[in-house]
Structures are given as C-alpha cells and as structure tokens.
Amino acid sequence: MFLLSSFLYASQDARPADRAISYQMIEDTQSLSADQISTSIKAAPLMSGHHNLGYSNSVFWLKLIVRNPSDQPQLRWLDMGAPRLQSVTLYMQQNGRWQSRASAGLDTPLSLHPVKARHAVFPLQLPAQAGVVILLRVQSKTAMAIAPAVYDPVSFRENEVAESLWAGVLLGAFGIVGLYCVLLFIFMRDHSFLYHGLAIFFFVLNEACMRGYGALYFWPESTIWSVHSLSFFGQICALFFLLFVRHFLNLSVFLPWGDKVIKLMLAWNLLAIFISQCVNYQRGTMMGLLLILITVPLLLAIFLQVIRKGANAMRYFAGGLFILMVGNILRALDLFGVLSSGQVLGEHFMLFVIVFSMLSFLLAIMDRVMLARQEKETAQKTLIDTLNSQQALLEKAVDSRTAELKAAVKDAQLANQLKTKLLAYIGHDLRAPLSTMIAYAKRMRRGESFDNFSMVVERSAGQQLELIDELLKYARGEMVEHHVQFTAGCFQDFIDDIQGQAELLATQYQNRFIYLQKGEAPEWLYADWKHLRQVLQNLLSNSAKFTRYGVISLTLEWQAGSADQSELKVAVEDTGVGMNQSDHARVFLPFERAQESESKEGHGLGLAIASQMVKSMGGELKVESAVQLGSRFYFCLHLQHAAAVYTLPLPKSLGPALPHDDIQQLQLFIASGQVTEIENWAEKIALLSAEHAQFSLQVEKALQYLDFEKLQALADDLLIQPDALHA
C-alpha cells in the first residue's frame, strides 16, 4: 500500500491553473529599479511554463499581464510555483510609477506574507473585462525555479490540502520505516539499521523543507533557518547514508581502500555543511551537490569490488544503489539548473527515488540478517544431523507401527460405520410394526372393533421378531447388508396385506387410500418378499406422514416380458407438501431431509433404506415432486414366475428320523418367535427326503407370511400323527 501511494503521489501532475499565463523575463546584474526594468523588459521574448534557473546571484524580473474576460470583478491568486524562492516582490504601476505592493519568499516572515502558503502567492484584484500589468522581482541564494500561474483561491486551497495530505501520509509512513530501523538496531545491535534509520529521518525533514512545509509549519518566522535548512538536512542525510554504506559493506574488512574513500567523502561532507551554514550558503551547498556527483561513480566502483571479494546479500543493495545513482544525478543537475527534473520523472521524482532506494537498502539489511540466520541454522543443522541419523531407525520402526495402527483404526472405523448404518436401518424398520399395533390400539380405544385385530397384532409382532433376529445375527457377525433372498410366494396374498396396512396408515393421518392395478398379475412369483414389503411400507408411511386430508395411492402396472418373467412398475403417489427440485437427489441419502420436511418427525432414513433395497433387487427408486403439488415415487422390477405351491397332506408316517424332541424344539421356536431358528429347522428337515422337503415348503410358506397360527397347527399335527412322515 505504501509503494502504491508513492506511485500515485510521484506521478500526479502539478495543480491545474485556471488559465495558462505568459510572461517576459530578463536577468538584472546591475540592481536596476522597477521603472528602469519596465522599459528594458519590453524587448524580452514572451515565454510560459516552468523555467529552471539554478544557482545565481543575479536578480530576475518578470512582467505579467493578467486579464479578466468576465463581466464581473474577480479575485485571483498568483503563485510563483517554487517553495524555495528566497525573495519575491510584487510591483504594480500607480500614478505612472512602479511601486512595491507585497513581498513573499523565505526572507519574509510568514506573518507578513499576503497569502499564507508554501509558495510565494499574491492576491490580485482583477476588474471586469480588463487586465492588470505587474512586475515581479525574484532573488535567491537557493536554486531558483519559476512557474508562475493564476488560480481561483478556493481551488488553490483545495489542491493545497490534498497535496499536503498526500505528502503527510507518505512522509509519515517513511518516518515510521525509519523508526522501525532504529528499533531493529536496539534489538539486534546492528549499526546498519541505525544509520539507515537516521538517513531516512533526515531525508523526511529535507523533503518537507524542499516542499515548503518547514517554513510554513516548523519555523514560519525564522527567515535565516528557512533558507539554511534546505541544505542542512540533505547534507546530514548524505552523511548517515555514507556511514550506512561503509558499515553495511564492511569496507574495513573487504576493501580497505574503499573504506578510505568513504572517509574522505565524510570529511568533504562535513566541510560542506560547515561552509553552507557558517560561511557561504551557495558555495557550501554546491560543494555538497558536487560530492553527490562524485559519490555515484565511486560507490559503483566500490560496490563492484566488494562483489568480487565475495560479499553476500548484494541483490537488494544493487537495486537501491542504481535507483539512488540515477535520482541523485538528476537532482544535482536540477539544482544546478542544467535541466528540470520535472521533465524526467515528474514533479515529485525525488520522493519516488528515495522511497524505492531506501526500501531496497532496508531489504538488503534484512537479507543480510536472514543470511546470517541461515548460516547459523546450517551450523545447527549439521550438529543435529548426527543425532537424526541415529534416530532414523527408531523413527522408521515407529512410523511402521504407526501406519499399522492407523490401518487398524481405519478398519475399525469402517466396521463401526457399517454397524452404525445397519443399526440405524434396523431401528427404523422396528418402528413400522410397532406403529401398526399402536394405531390399531388407538382405534380400539375409541370403540372401533376389528375382526382381524389379533391377526394384525400377531403379524406385526412376528415382523418385529424377525427384525430382532436380524439384529441378533448382526451382533454375532452373521448378517450382511440387504442380503437378497428370492422365494416363491402368492402375490395376491402379499398385496392384500399391504393394502390393509396402507389403509390404516392413510386413516391415521386423515387421508384416503386408493389402490390401482393395471394388467394381469401372475399368481405366483419369485421375489424378496420381506424387502419388498419394507420398501412399500416405507414409501406409504412417508406419503402418509407428509399428507393431510389428501389422497395416497398405490399403482401396480404389470407388463408381460418373456414366457417366465413379468415387469412390475410400482408407483406411490400423494397430494402432500411435495419438495423442491434441488431436494430430489438429497432425500435418498441417509439422514438427509427435504426443506419442507424439517418440521416433521423422523430421521431421514426411510427413503434411503427403500432406495438401497430397490437397488439390491435390481431396480432404481426415483421421484417426481414439486412444492405443494405432492410427490410420486416409482420403481420397476423384473420378477420370475413360480409354480404354485400347494399345501400337501402330511405323510402317513414320520418314522425315527423326526423324533419327539425335534417336534418339541419346533414348538419352542414357534412359541418364542425365533424366525431364524425355524428356518434352520425347516432346512435341516428338507434334506431327509422328498416328503420331508414338501413339509419343509409348507413351514417356509407359513413363515414367509409370518403365519404363526399355521406353523403351530403344523407342529400340533405332527404330535397328533406321530407316524405321518416316515424316514
């Protein structure tokens, strides 16, 4: 930010004048009067803009004609454009003679200036549609630059405030850099920081004086010091800069002859300070400028020799030295009057030069410090390497063990995630049969009667026992996620049971249930009836939960495929709250819910479970929905036809292959609702013979529909007819 501000400040043009002004100028070496000058100046050529006069003991006279083309009288301010002019006197003609009207410049106390400003400024009263002819007498021991211009007083003050604000911010920031260097010296005891910081401080003071802020704010009534401060602070800045170069380059070690040259420059600089302040200002100042012109090539030669000697951290120093060389040469030529520095880099070029050169030198110091630290760290690293080499084997063993532990932890985490997921699914499905029983209980409490209540309660309890068996399997590590098991079954019995549950769910939430079937359904099919039931229960429960006083429908569409296969399209629709398009994919993720469902009960698992079960059966669960327009969940399955499974009469003799203890064990499994154990018992019986296999099919069919009454009847028949099956 500081560099950007410097760019903006250094590149801004001088304040725009109201109008361009032309003038005539002659040099007076004989101390002529204004009346004499008014005659001889008529032959001088007409000129305009900026003129750099350099150092001169002569007096310069300017003749200006300031016109007012408007119909009203105007007040305008005449600005001489340079803050370091020593004496400027304004003459105006009265009664045929030229008389002095006002004086300004460094020789005049600020209280006597007609306008309190950094420059020599004179107010002019311009009559309407007329002009004013004036003479200006300029004399200065300082380097003279003239750029007369006429301004409106208000815009002049606004521009002065803006320029002063910029200068204050930049010079203040530069002063902070100097203070930072001094603090670094205090903490690090490196004299390069001290000399660099002092050089920055005196540059700030010098630049403030060169821009007129010293005479305006610091010593407004001290006319002598206002002039002498222009040279003093600049020469002190050069003194500390030479000390910085000598110490930073370590010339006493790397280049003794260069050290002697720097000492001679320091002596010359001290002599120039003494002469400019005590003997002759111009001569001492010019000695200092001459020192600058000599210093630049000498420093370049010294710098190159130091690099050849092997000095480090020279990259930033080289950049700063190059910028300073160019800037100091241009400043010296500017003050000598050879050229106008404003023609090269703009009015504020020296600030630009010093900012970048000083920052480059500061970076060079920091680079040197960082290099010293790196060397120290390298030495420390060398000492540590021996210890590190001895620890390498131990660290390798530790890393290997750590990798093994991380792998074990990762495996444990994956296993735990799977357990958590399965437990969440089973916990979700455990709610369905309980919800059915609770709903029937509530309706019975209201006085409604149901003939099939006991059957519904028994079936729901059986489903819950089956889920508990799955949980026990999982606890023993025997269960895998959504294992598909296709068995033969009667589709009509299955769908009748689903309709009953759907009507109950719809009534529970004050909805109406509609069942539609398109096409002819095969009577017997191979399907994963348990998971298909869970899918439909979840979809119907989800629709009922998000619908009030509406309609829930289940549509089954059968399409013939091959001779032994049919395509089943299932759709569950509702007229509920619906969901946004952006939530369509998210609702199938575990523990994710649509925006419209955040206030409803549930954990966001039902649709995720249904989606995974449909996928495991070879289909894909999809959704169509819009806010307040309901939802439609649908999927498609290809199911194989199955031959009818008839209830066969029991064989006449059981024989010794099925003793009484096995029958009692079956009755115990039925009484405790151990579905898994009943399945295992039936599988063991089926291996005995074809007749045993037929009996096993009857047990499995009853178990498929959780018909424990049928299972108990089969077990009772075995006890009544002990010779029904033969071995």
Q: Region 183-193: what's the mean pLDDT?
A: 82
Q: What pLDDT does 636 receive?
A: 92
Strand, coil or helix: 95: coil
Lowest mean pLDDT among 177-186, 327-336, 552-561: 327-336
**CA–CA distance, 248 with 254 (Å, rounded to integer):** 11
> Using 50, 70 and 90 to split pLDDT, how confident is the model at 135?
very high
Q: What pLDDT does 6 receive?
A: 40
**CA–CA distance, 260 with 255 (Å, rounded to integer):** 9
> Using 50, 70 and 90 to split pLDDT, how confident is the model at 7?
very low
Q: Name the amino acid, one letter, at 103.
A: S
Q: How many CA atoms lie within 13 A of 471 on its CB side?
A: 15
DSSP string of 56-84, one letter each residue: -SSEEEEEEEEEE-SSS-EEEEEE-S-TT
Q: Region 317-346: what's the mean pLDDT?
A: 61
Q: What pLDDT does 331 receive?
A: 67
Q: Name the amino acid, one letter, at 148.
A: P
Q: Region 156-162: what's the mean pLDDT?
A: 87
Q: What pLDDT does 533 receive?
A: 85
Show the beta-strand stretches assigned E in 210-302: none
Reading across the β-sheet that carries 149-151, which strands appear in turn? 121-126, 74-79, 149-151
What's the farthest any 2 CA atoms get from each other in the chain?
Answer: 158
Lowest mean pLDDT among 205-209, 587-591, 658-662: 658-662
User: Does the structure show a pLDDT above 50 at 394?
Assistant: yes
> Using 50, 70 and 90 to split pLDDT, how confident is the model at 123?
very high
Strand, coil or helix: 654: coil
User: Does the structure show a pLDDT above 50 at 670?
Assistant: yes
- The Cβ of residue 667 has, within 10 Å, a number of other Cβ atoms equal to 16
**CA–CA distance, 670 with 706 (Å, rounded to integer):** 10
Q: Name the amino acid, one letter, at 289.
A: L
> Using 50, 70 and 90 to split pLDDT, how confident is the model at 271?
very high
- Cβ proximity of 130 and 69 under 8 Å: no
Q: Region 285-298: what's the mean pLDDT?
A: 81
Tokens of 225: 């010091």
Q: What pLDDT does 415 receive?
A: 62
**CA–CA distance, 217 with 227 (Å, rounded to integer):** 14
Q: What pLDDT does 344 receive?
A: 42
Lowest mean pLDDT among 107-116, 201-210, 459-468: 459-468
Q: Region 24-48: what's the mean pLDDT?
A: 86
Write the DSSP symbol of residue 19. B
Question: Residue 624's beta-bridge partner residues?
Answer: 632
- Cβ proximity of 566 and 642 under 8 Å: no
Q: Where does residue 560 rank: exposed (0-12), middle (13-18), buried (19+ CB within 10 A)?
A: exposed
**CA–CA distance, 414 with 417 (Å, rounded to integer):** 5
Lowest mean pLDDT among 32-46, 139-153, 352-366, 518-532: 352-366
Percent of the chain whose pLDDT exceeds 90? 7
With tokens 């090269």, the residue in question is 344
User: Does the structure show a pLDDT above 80 at 226?
Assistant: yes
Percent of the chain whose pLDDT exceeds 70? 72
User: Does the structure show a pLDDT above 70 at 407?
Assistant: yes
Of 573 and 531, the one with more pLDDT: 573
**CA–CA distance, 609 with 432 (Å, rounded to integer):** 13
State in Å, rounded, how far the first CA of the chain is from the last one: 99
Q: What pLDDT does 634 receive?
A: 92
Q: What pLDDT does 267 receive?
A: 92
Q: Region 662-689: what's the mean pLDDT?
A: 76
- φ, ψ of residue 53 to 5 degrees: the values are -100, -15
Lowest mean pLDDT among 118-127, 411-420, 439-448, 700-709: 439-448
**CA–CA distance, 539 with 525 (Å, rounded to integer):** 22
Lowest mean pLDDT among 5-14, 52-61, 435-444: 5-14
Write the DSSP symbol of residue 600. S
Q: Strand pairing of 524-527 and 487-490? A: antiparallel
Q: Region 235-244: what's the mean pLDDT?
A: 87
Q: What is the mean pLDDT of the chain?
A: 77
Q: b/e for 69-86, b at 16 or more Cβ within 10 A?
A: eeeeebebbbbbbbbbbb
Q: Region 440-450: what's the mean pLDDT?
A: 61
